[in-house]
Structure 1
């Protein structure tokens, strides 16, 4: 059972009330008043009754809540119980180990893994758990991450700059122009695409949101200056309404239709290239796919990689651009 943040906040109030030995056997009205004081919200009595039922039935909490008919209130049949001290089950520990194994094998390098591993090891140490050699040495999940890839040494400072909205400066190297340039950026988010990491942020030099590859960033420094916030709709268009990371200049979000041959249609059906993707399959097995995205250089490159098995139908400018390349 998934627990929402608001529900868990109420669970904590209920737990605190049931643990309070100075005011035993709280009623639903008592709990409702406590929620109002602690959460500035007044849940209905039906909601609180449902919360208590969920706490009792949940495999996570298994709360020993009992209604006392004599005292007309609720209590824990086990006075030592608290949702703040729920033990991990064997399945919980197994899941944590699997999650750690997954993170260790994801692109992102050692700096992300170290922070996550240390936190998880502290949790497991509480339960006297550790990873057997067989678990750590036998690789079950493998990704394309190549040890030694550039840029990850700045991951922590960039992550914190995005999180805390700290402007940064760095020296950016252009592979195409073969030149270095100092830029000031107001970081928005880090994005991974095809096992490469990029920083998206508002560039003071360009007066717009831009993308910078981590492998091309040097001498990253946090700055003490006011953070420039970007429009949230513009951020979502730039970051989400796109396949890839580098939008084609002066092209807005638009409908793109392409036709796939029978030999590659199944790949696009199994792995949509964007959440907006829709399909209209022909009797022959070929298929018209439609996406609503901001055109990008990565999209053009991907289309061209399929050669004669993929043809852009609309828009015409993109169809001609792919033909001419």
Structure 2
């Protein structure tokens, strides 16, 4: 896998091509040198292009009519995953360089408090189990019912959402995948039992691409969700999209922007919409518009009687 310096170059190259489609090799080298003080030969640039394709499955398309390169639109999900990976590498490098001055790091780089979060130690054995298709056993705490239950699952993926880590897996003897929070897992053990047909769950895993967060119901379907958002909120959503399917559908005469999504409208999506309050209006589908309206009205009732 790519080293830190190469990762930084690849990240910059993607950013440039994302901002300036159909950039030629000469223009790309010029921007790298002028804006980032990186001097690359044609041979090095070719190796970087090859690394993007080989290590991260991100393709660059050459358009002869425009004499430039453009990112493959089909690779958008991979590009987003790549940026997340690079972000984690950057943080790791930062912490590594700051080990000799931890107090300075603690004071000047303020991260969200996750001191009480448990479960990070499970990531490595889970990744090994995924790689080897082996089962894992653990005791799982149910916060709602205040119970402890034993599970044996075949892990498929590890996912992060809202600064928490989860493992997606198939419980032994079942046909549907389930999500488990790493912070609720205890006494994790790797088992020798191997599952040879994990590919059959790929269709279920793909549904996570159609939701915000990690909650989906197999009976629900993907729908077009259309929002009218204020210009201020649009700037936030443009820099940090609510979902990877987000795109600008229309600029309205009242100054608001219409954003379109193709998602399964789950609980997490509804909570995100409610958090934006008066900055947005749900236009479609009509049932979701009514549901959010009812939630807002119920919320307002709690403030009916001033103290």
Q: State the TM-score, normalized to the length of structure 2.
A: 0.59
1:195 aligns with 2:168: no
1:229 aligns with 2:198: yes
Give the structure 1 partner of residue 284 of structure 2: 314
- Whole-angstrom distance in 2 between the partners of 1:267 and 1:205: 44
Max Rg structure = 1
Give the structure 2 partner of residue 73 of structure 1: none
Give the structure 2 partner of residue 269 of structure 1: 238
User: In structure 2, which of residues 135, 150, 157 is the aligned counterpart of residue 182 of structure 1?
Assistant: 150
- Whole-angstrom distance in 2 between the partners of 1:188 and 1:99: 21
1:238 aligns with 2:207: yes
User: Unpaired runs of 5+ in structure 1?
Assistant: 3-53, 62-97, 106-112, 118-129
Higher helix residue share = 2
User: Unpaired runs of 5+ in structure 2?
Assistant: 3-39, 48-86, 296-307
- Indicate how the Cα distance of structure 1 residues 265 and 213 shifts in structure 2: closer, same or farther if over 3 A, else same: same
- Whole-angstrom distance in 1 between the partners of 2:159 and 2:247: 24
- Whole-angstrom distance in 2 between the partners of 1:238 and 1:59: 36
Q: For 1:64-103, what aligned pairs fall within 5 Å after superposition? A: 102-103=91-92
User: In structure 2, which of residues 274, 286, 290 is the aligned counterpart of residue 304 of structure 1?
Assistant: 274
- Indicate how the Cα distance of structure 1 residues 275 and 104 shifts in structure 2: closer, same or farther if over 3 A, else same: same
2:210 is paired with a residue of what secondary structure? coil
1:290 aligns with 2:276: no
- Indicate how the Cα distance of structure 1 residues 270 and 281 shifts in structure 2: closer, same or farther if over 3 A, else same: farther
Deviation digits for residues 215-251 of structure 1 (CA, Å, limit 9, x no counterpart): 1112222223231414364155233222111124621
Deviation digits for residues 34-85 of structure 1 (CA, Å, limit 9, x no counterpart): xxxxxxxxxxxxxxxxxxxx99843899xxxxxxxxxxxxxxxxxxxxxxxx
- Indicate how the Cα distance of structure 1 residues 100 and 250 shifts in structure 2: closer, same or farther if over 3 A, else same: closer
> In the TM superposition, what is the alpha-carbon distance from 1:309 to its structure 2 partner?
2.4
- Judge conservation of contact 1:262–1:284 (CA < 8 Å) in 2: no
User: In structure 1, which of residues 218, 231, 235 is the aligned counterpart of residue 186 of structure 2?
Assistant: 218
Q: State the TM-score, normalized to the length of structure 1.
A: 0.56
Q: For 1:7-86, what aligned pairs fall within 5 Å after superposition? A: 57-58=43-44
**Deviating more after overlay: 299-308 vs 234-243:** 234-243
Deviation digits for residues 121-148 of structure 1 (CA, Å, limit 9, x no counterpart): xxxxxxxxx8784699446654325223
> In the TM superposition, what is the alpha-carbon distance from 1:171 to its structure 2 partner?
2.0
- Indicate how the Cα distance of structure 1 residues 161 and 299 shifts in structure 2: closer, same or farther if over 3 A, else same: same
- Indicate how the Cα distance of structure 1 residues 233 and 205 shifts in structure 2: closer, same or farther if over 3 A, else same: closer
- Whole-angstrom distance in 2 between the partners of 1:281 and 1:303: 20
User: How many residue pairs align between the two structures?
Assistant: 216
RMSD: 3.5
